[in-house]
Structure 1
Amino acid sequence: MRIFGRLLACLVVFTSLLAAAPASAADEVAPLPDDFLWGVSSSGFQSEGSNPDSNWLRYSQNKEHVGNAVDFRNRYAEDIALAADMGVEVYRFGIEWARVEPVPGEWDEAELAYYDDVVQHVLDAGMTPMITLNHWVHPGWVADQGGWKSDETLRDFTAYTERIVDRYADTGAMWVTFNEATLYVYHEIDNKAATWFDAPWIFDRLAKAHNAAYDLIHAANPDAMVTSNLAFIPLSPWLFDAAFIDRIAGKLDFVGIDYYMGLSLDNLTAARAITGELADAQPDGIYYALRYYGDKFPDLPLYIVENGMATHDNAERPDGLSRAEFIEDHVYWIQRAVEDGIDVIGYNYWSITDNYEWGSYTPRFGLYTVDVLNDPDLERKPTDGVGAYTDVISGGGVPGDYEPVVRQSICSLIAPPLSCLVPAA
C-alpha cells in the first residue's frame, strides 16, 4: 500500500505539471483523402413514428411515449434532401423488422415498398445507403417467443435478413447487422425482457445471426461492406469486445465504432451518464479509440458509424461546447489519426434530426432540431452544426491551422495504459 501511495502521489504531481503547462501548438493537419466517406445516421424506431407492435413500442408505454417521433415515415424525402444539401455521401437508416413482417412469415408489401422508396431517394440524391438490419427493435411476436432467448428468433431473423438482402443487394448499400449489440442486450435486461443469466446465450445467438447475415450479404454481393457497429466504452473496451465483436471478427469488412464520450484524469465526467447528465466532451478520445481498434484489427478499415453531441432541450451544455465546435474538434482528431497511419474510411454524425432517445425526447442530437412535443408541424430547424458539417465535408476536414476548442486530455483513460502513457504527439 505504501508503494501504491507513492506511485499515486507521483502521478498526481506529474499530471498537475502537465495541466499547468501550456498546450503545445500542433503541426498543421492535412485534409482527409478524397475517398473518405461523410455520412449521417438515424434509426427506424427513433425517427419513423407510427410504429407497429415491437419490443420497444411496448417498453415506451412505461416511458415517454414515442408517438409519431419526427415522422420520418412520411418526411423521409425532406430529411434525405437536407443531408444531400450538406454534401453528405452516406445515409444510414434502419429497416424495421416489425414493419415488414408484422406476423410470422407474412410480409407487408406496402411497407417493403416504403423502404424501396427510401433507398431510391438516397440513391437519387447521389448517396450510398447504409442499412441497419436491427437497431435494438424486434417485432412483438418475436418478443412473445422470448426474443433472443429463443433459437426461433435466430431462425426468423435469418429469414428476415435474406428477404431484405435479396431486395437491396444490387444498390451498393453498406450494411450494419446489429446496432451496438452489447447495449442491445443491456436494454433487454434493463426492460426485464431478459436476465443477466440469459446474456451469454443471447450474445451467442446474435453472433450466429451476424455471421449468417454476413454470408447472405456476400453471396448476393461479394463487394458489399458489412459491419456490426460497437458502442465504445472507455477504460476497458476489451471487456465489452469479448462479449460480441471478438466473436464475429472473422466476418467484418470494416470495424464500425460509435464514439460519444471519453475519460481521462482531467475529465471524469463520463460518470454523469449513469444519472442521465451530460458528460463533458473529450474529442481527443476518438483518436485513442481509433488507435486502439487500428492496433486490434490491423487488416480492417475503421469507420465512425456514430458520433454526436446531446443537449437537454437545446439548453447550453455544462461544458459550453456548441455542436459546430463538437463536430470540428472530433474531425480534427480523426485527421490526426489518419495522418498517423490509422485506416479510417468514414464518419457519420448522429443524427440528421433530433429523435426519440429510447425513452425521452429531452436529449437533442440533431443537426436539425425538431420540437416533437410542442411543434405539431415538426419543423426541421438548422443548428450551427449544419453549416459546420457542410464546411467540413467540402473542405475534406477542418483547415490545416485549426486549433481545437477542447484541449488535449491529460492521461487519457480511453484504452489504458497505452492511451495515457503514449499520448498523441
Structure 2
Amino acid sequence: MPRLRFLRSPAAVRTVALVLALAAAPLIAAAPAQASPTDLGSGFEWGVATSGFQAEGPPPDSNWSRYVAAGKTHDEYGSGPDFRHRYVEDIANAAAMGVQVFRFSVEWARVQPAPGVWDEAEFAYYDDVVRQVRAHGMRPMITLDHFVYPGWVADRGGWSDEGTVDSWLANAERVVRRYAGDGTNWITFNEATVFLQKELTFGGISLAAAPQMLDRMVRAHRAVYDLIHRVDPAAQVSSNVAYIPAAMGAMDGMFADRVRDKLDFVGIDYYYGVSLDNITAANAVTDAFFDIRPQPDGIYHAAMYYARKYPELPIYIVENGMPGDDGKDRPDGYTRSDHLRDHVYWLGRAQDDGARVIGYNYWSITDNFEWGTYRPRFGLYTVDVLTDPTLTRRPTDAVAAYRDIIAANGLPDDYRPMARQSVCSLVDPPKSCLNPPAVPGVSDTGSAASTGSR
C-alpha cells in the first residue's frame, strides 16, 4: 500500500488540497445520472492478495528482516500471520468466497538464501501453494518482487549495486520457468516508486542512488517481461502502481511510462483520495492509515485517468482495501463491507464511462505486517498476531459481502454508495473536480447515508 511521505506534513497536504480545490470548486458540474452498475461483465475476475514477507511468518535473512532487527519498525515481527504453514486454510477461505485470482509473492530471500544456492524445500512449499490455488479453481497471480531481497544482496549494496539486476533476473527466471503456464499471471515489481521510497526511508539506498535504482528496475522489468512471453505467450504481465492523488504524472514518469510498451494491463493499487471536503490523507504521513476517511469515488477517477492515459491497456485493480485500527470498529460506523461495496459500485461506473476494468483484488486475505506495524488491519480475515498465539482466522463482515458480490458479479440494481461522493475530488485534477459523475437519486454532495457514515 502507498505512503505519502513526500508530503512532509499534514499542513502541506491541507495547503495543496485547499488551493487546488478552491480554484476549481466554482466550476463543479454534475454529470448526467446513469443507471446503477450491476454485472461487471463476462470475464471480469475477482481476487484476493497477500505477500511473502508480510504474511508468511518468521522470515529468512533479507533487507526487511534486517530493518526489523535494527529497530527501525514500530512492531517486532514475531510469528507473522504464518501463511507459510497455514496457506491451505487461507487459500480455501478465498475459494469459499468464489474468488478466481489468488495473488501472492515468491520471496527471493526464501528460495535463494546465498549466491548460487537454491533452497528446494522452499520451492516445494511454493509448488504446493500454486497447486492448492489451481486445485481450488483459481488463477495464480505471482509477484516476483514485493519490496524484499536477500541479505546477501543487501551486503552487496542492494539496488545500489549494478550486479543486482543480473542476480534478480536469475531468480526471476527460475520462478517463471517453474510456475508459468496454466493461466498464471505476473506482477514484476510491486509499486516500484513506493519500493524506492521505502528503501530511502529505511536506509537500503542513498538519495544519490535513487535514479540508478529506478533505472535498474526498469531494465529488470523489461527483460523479465520478454522472458515471460517467451516461456508463456498467453501470460499477462504488469507492475502495479500505487495511486497517489494528484501526483500520478510525476510518479508514472519514474517507472510506468518507461515500461508502458511492456505492460499487458495497468495494475492499480487504490486506497485514498483527496478532495475539498476530505484532506484526511495527511494522516498517511504518520502511518495512521485508519484515520483517513475513505473516498471510494476516487477509484472511479483513478480508473478513468489510466483509461485516458493508456487507452490501449485494460485496467486491473491489483489492490484495494480498508485499514482498521487494531481490530476496532471505525468511529463513524463505516464498515469493511460498506467500503468494499462502495468501491465496486464506482468501478462499475468507470466501466459505464468507458474504462476497460477487467479485475479486482481485495487487499488482503488476512491481516499482516504492514511494513513496520500490525496496527492497520486490512484483512478480510482478522488475525491478532501480537495477542493470539493460535493465529485464528476470524471473518470480518466483508467476507459475506464479497461472497455475494462475486456470486452476482456486481451489485444490486438499487445499490447506492454509503460514503458520500467527494466535493471536488483531486484524485485526477482538474477533470475529477470539474466533471464528477452523478449518483442517481442523490445530490452532488449527499449520499445514501448523507454523511458517509452510519
Bucket of the pairwise TM-score, normalised by the shorter protein: over 0.9
Shift of 1:154: 0.3
Code of the aligned partner of 1:99: R
Select the residue among 30, 44, 52 that pairs with 2:52.
44
- Tell me if the contact between 2:105 and 2:142 (Cα under 8 Å) persists in the aligned partners: yes
Q: Distance in 1 between matches of 2:61 and 2:202?
A: 16
- The superposition leaves residues 259-280 of structure 1 with CA deviations (integer Å, 9 ceiling, x where unpaired) of 0001111111111111222210
Select the residue among 12, 15, 40 that pairs with 1:32.
40
Q: Give the aligned partner of residue 181 of structure 1.
A: 192
Shift of 1:316: 2.4
- Tell me if the contact between 1:355 and 1:364 (Cα under 8 Å) persists in the aligned partners: yes
1:202 matches 2:202: no
Code of the aligned partner of 2:166: R
Q: Give the aligned partner of residue 321 of structure 1.
A: 334
Q: Distance in 1 between matches of 2:178 and 2:61?
A: 23
Code of the aligned partner of 2:220: A
Moved over 4 A (4+): 6-15, 23-26
Code of the aligned partner of 2:54: Q
- Using the TM superposition, name which of 122-131 and 308-317 deviates more: 308-317
Select the residue among 72, 77, 89 that pairs with 1:78.
89
Q: Distance in 1 between matches of 2:423 and 2:292?
A: 16
Select the residue among 48, 57, 66 that pairs with 2:65.
57
Q: Note the 1:265-280 alignment, pairs <5 A.
A: 265-277=276-288, 278-280=291-293
Code of the aligned partner of 1:36: F
Shift of 1:50: 2.1
Q: Give the aligned partner of residue 176 of structure 2.
A: 165
Q: Distance in 2 between matches of 1:133 and 1:155?
A: 14
Select the residue among 202, 225, 237 that pairs with 1:214.
225
Alignment CA distance shift 1:340-1:114 (3 Å): same
- Tell me if the contact between 2:27 and 2:434 (Cα under 8 Å) persists in the aligned partners: no
- Tell me if the contact between 1:30 and 1:339 (Cα under 8 Å) persists in the aligned partners: no
1:291 matches 2:291: no
- The superposition leaves residues 224-256 of structure 1 with CA deviations (integer Å, 9 ceiling, x where unpaired) of 000000100001211111111111111000110
- Tell me if the contact between 1:280 and 1:319 (Cα under 8 Å) persists in the aligned partners: no
Q: Note the 1:125-274 alignment, pairs <5 A.
A: 125-274=136-285
- Using the TM superposition, name which of 337-346 and 282-291 deviates more: 337-346
- The superposition leaves residues 299-353 of structure 1 with CA deviations (integer Å, 9 ceiling, x where unpaired) of 1000000000001111222543100000000000001111112100000000000
Shift of 1:27: 2.5
Q: Give the aligned partner of residue 376 of structure 2.
A: 363
Q: Give the aligned partner of residue 118 of structure 2.
A: 107
Shift of 1:193: 1.7
- The superposition leaves residues 270-303 of structure 1 with CA deviations (integer Å, 9 ceiling, x where unpaired) of 1111122221000000000000001111010000
Alignment CA distance shift 1:239-1:190 (3 Å): same
Q: Distance in 1 between matches of 2:287 and 2:414?
A: 36
Q: Distance in 2 between matches of 1:254 and 1:378?
A: 36
**Structure 2 stretches lacking a partner, 5+ long:** 1-18, 439-454
Code of the aligned partner of 1:379: T
Aligned residues: 416
Aligned to 2:180, the other structure's residue is in SS state helix
**Structure 1 stretches lacking a partner, 5+ long:** 1-5
- The superposition leaves residues 381-416 of structure 1 with CA deviations (integer Å, 9 ceiling, x where unpaired) of 000010111111001111111010012111110011
Alignment CA distance shift 1:348-1:8 (3 Å): closer
Q: Give the aligned partner of residue 15 of structure 2.
A: none
- Using the TM superposition, name which of 271-280 and 257-266 deviates more: 271-280
- Tell me if the contact between 2:319 and 2:363 (Cα under 8 Å) persists in the aligned partners: yes
TM-score (norm 2): 0.89
Q: Give the aligned partner of residue 392 of structure 1.
A: 405
Q: Give the aligned partner of residue 98 of structure 1.
A: 109
1:340 matches 2:353: yes
Q: Distance in 1 between matches of 2:77 and 2:140?
A: 25
